Amino acid sequence: MVAHGCGIYVMGGRIGGRASSSVMFLDCRSHTWSTLPSMGVPRYSAASGVVDGKIYILGGCDDRNSSRWGEVFDPKKQTWDALPIPPPNCSRPSMWESIVIKEDKEEKLVAINGAGACVSYIPSESKWKKGNKKTSQVYKGWHVIDNIVYCSALGGRILWCEAHEWERPVTTHVMEWREVMGLESLRETLAASKLVNYGGRLGDLWESNKPLMQAAGFEITELDEKFPGHKLSNSGPNMLIFWDVLAPRKLEIWCAEVCLERHKDTCQIRGNILWSEPVMTLDPPPPHQLHCHILYTSPLNL
């Protein structure tokens, strides 16, 4: 899913257990859905982003050698076109995370595939680049604010790194994630959140490996116990953090707005909480459901 213009584009996914090539558009002004031209191949668990007003989507298709592993949609012309074939070992079916970064006034889509390798596509040059590998830690929910990459981590932490670090070769540079300081008061409640939905190919892989892990004597837990459950977004230069709180007989969705300050002398980013309050309450919570999931968050100019 990506937000662009006045709405949200939902591309692919699974319908009846099978990957879909369909594209739907939600107009956030009228709260209405419309159907757009389908992609060239069915996809789910793909990476996507908007560069120069066009929507790019990578991976998510079972055939890693597909000539349409990457596609671009022009909202004005309402057409899909194939991207050049990506480098070897980059065209994995599953894509974990994706961001759009800017370097020297040039925007590019950066994504991590299922093997943890970084690949970026530069639309202005129609060129692919292979880059760094992510660390072995579980960092999810990437979000870019002022060209700094933020992510959610276990223990209710929020980390950051420089955007350009993703394209440095792993043989010459080890990525360095640092924690956003000043948010210690949120750690406990963020660590307990289960707001993020980890479905798609990651969920499929987890479920298929459960019998093997059980046979090997491992303790079986749910997937959302292994990954951070808070979600990041932004409002202008400020960060928005979403999480859920299960109170007696009700479920609350909370949001905090955080002003970010960078201290160049200490190489730290500090967050100052401007406000923190529930933005939605389910009273009572849905039957047999202790948590709910936010599938997507994005600021829109309406």
The chain-wide mean pLDDT, for the chain, equals 81
Q: What is the mean pLDDT of residues 233-249?
A: 88
Last residue of a domain, one of 101, 134, 167: 134
The 10s digit of each residue's pLDDT in 54-88 is 999 998 888 877 899 999 999 999 999 999 988 77
Given a cut of 50, whether residue 158 has pLDDT beyond it is yes
Q: pLDDT category, 97, cuts 50, 70, 90?
A: confident
The domain total for the chain is 2
Residues 92 and 190 in one domain: no
Last residue of a domain, one of 134, 162, 192: 134
Given a cut of 70, whether residue 210 has pLDDT beyond it is no
pTM score, two decimals? 0.80
Cβ–Cβ < 8 Å for 149, 137: no
Q: Is residue 168 part of a domain?
A: no
Instruction: Please tell me the predicted confidence (pLDDT) of residue 80.
Output: 98
The 10s digit of each residue's pLDDT in 129-145 is 887 665 545 567 889 99
Instruction: Please tell me the predicted confidence (pLDDT) of residue 64.
Output: 76
Q: List the domain range (segments joined by +) for residue 61.
A: 1-134
The 10s digit of each residue's pLDDT in 14-28 is 888 888 999 999 998
Last residue of a domain, one of 94, 117, 134: 134
Instruction: Please tell me the predicted confidence (pLDDT) of residue 282.
Output: 82
CATH of the domain at 62: 2.120.10.80
- Return the residue matching tokens 């905090």: 256
CA distance 302 to 291: 30
Q: What is the mean pLDDT of residues 256-266?
A: 91
